[in-house]
Structure 1
Amino acid sequence: MDKVYVEGMRFYGYHGAFQEETKLGQRFYADVVMEIDTEQAGNTDDLDDTVNYAEVYEAAKEVLEGEPVKLVETLTARTASLILERFAIVDAVTVKVKKPDPPIPGHYDGVAVEIRRERGFEKK
């Protein structure tokens, strides 16, 4: 399966388990990898035969700058679900959401959650 990448998206949201996170907000980064068949788009050179990167960005923005949640896991799962819902051409999606400055002790590059979901995925 072919893959389309939209990487390094940056957002500002009010998510977190601690009160200061939901009050002050913080940065979130997202990478999205969509598994699609790009043969048609490659032959037609028509945007309607693939995913529009700007629309993928807007879907991620809707979640990451939207309703506050406590967990990065929730942000990641909601982003994946929305992409599968909005883009019928996407057979599977991998989403990675990174919180570069979590309010926990230590010096590191942040924390991240990465998930892969495919069309028809149902948790039992």
Structure 2
Amino acid sequence: MGTIKLTNIRTYSYHGCLEEEAKIGSDYRVDLLIKTNLKPSAHTDELTDTVDYVDLNRIVIEEMAIRAKLLEHVAQRIINRILSELIMVTKVKIEVTKLNPPIGGDVEGVTICMKKKKNSFFRLIKEK
């Protein structure tokens, strides 16, 4: 097994429960960690034998562009897409941070962290 990390993916998105957040938006940071088998690509030096981080970044950007009230909802959508679209991924951990949140204080950011492992039965079916 191995790990691929994408750190500090920056987006400007419109998430939040407040009406103002839907109108003016905010800066966000996403950190993503996935688990996959890196042995084949380490041996072959072929992109087709690994998880392309361009695809990971694309999924994050696309899902961050779809408005949600809660960061948890956005994070779960990202996790679900990665696990369903990228067959070689076995586990996803994501942190979504709203920078300078409107919570009435001097707070740099609010972060939610979620993770999910692909069901091993599901992995066996996909690998066949």
Q: Do Structure 1 and Structure 2 share a fold, with TM-score over 0.5?
A: yes
Aligned counterparts, 1:18-29, within 5 A: 18-29=18-29
The amino acid of 2:5's aligned partner reads: Y
The answer for the alignment partner of 2:75 in structure 1 is 76
- Structure 2 length-normalised TM: 0.89
Number of residue pairs matched by the alignment: 120
The Cα offsets for residues 64-100 of structure 1, whole Å up to 9 and x where unpaired, read as 012x110011111111111111110000000110001
> Aligned ranges for residues 50-69 of structure 1 at < 5 Å?
50-66=50-66, 68-69=67-68
TM-score (norm 1): 0.92
2:81 and 2:95 map into 1 onto residues whose CA distance is 14
Deviation at 1:108, TM superposition (A): 2.1
What percent of counterpart residues are identical?
29
Paired position in structure 2 for 1:117: 116
Give the structure 1 partner of residue 126 of structure 2. none
In structure 2, the residue corresponding to 1:88 is in which secondary structure? Answer: coil
Could you say which residue in structure 2 is the equivalent of 1:102? 101
Cα distance in 2, alignment partners of residues 6 and 51 from structure 1 = 12
**Offset of 1:113 from its aligned partner?**
0.6
- Distance in 2 (alpha carbons) for counterparts of 1:40 and 1:76: 29
Amino acid at match of 1:24: I
The runs of 4+ residues in structure 1 deviating greater than 3 Å are none
* Structure 2 residue identity aligned to 1:22: A
Structure with a larger share of its residues in helix: 2
CA distance in 2, matches of 1:44, 1:9: 28
SS in 1 for 2:88: coil
1:47 aligns with 2:47: yes
Q: What SS does structure 2 have at the residue aligned with 1:105? A: coil
Q: Distance in 2 between matches of 1:16 and 1:48?
A: 38
In structure 2, stretches of 5+ residues that fail to align are 121-128
Please state how far the C-alpha of 1:120 moved relative to its aligned partner. 2.5
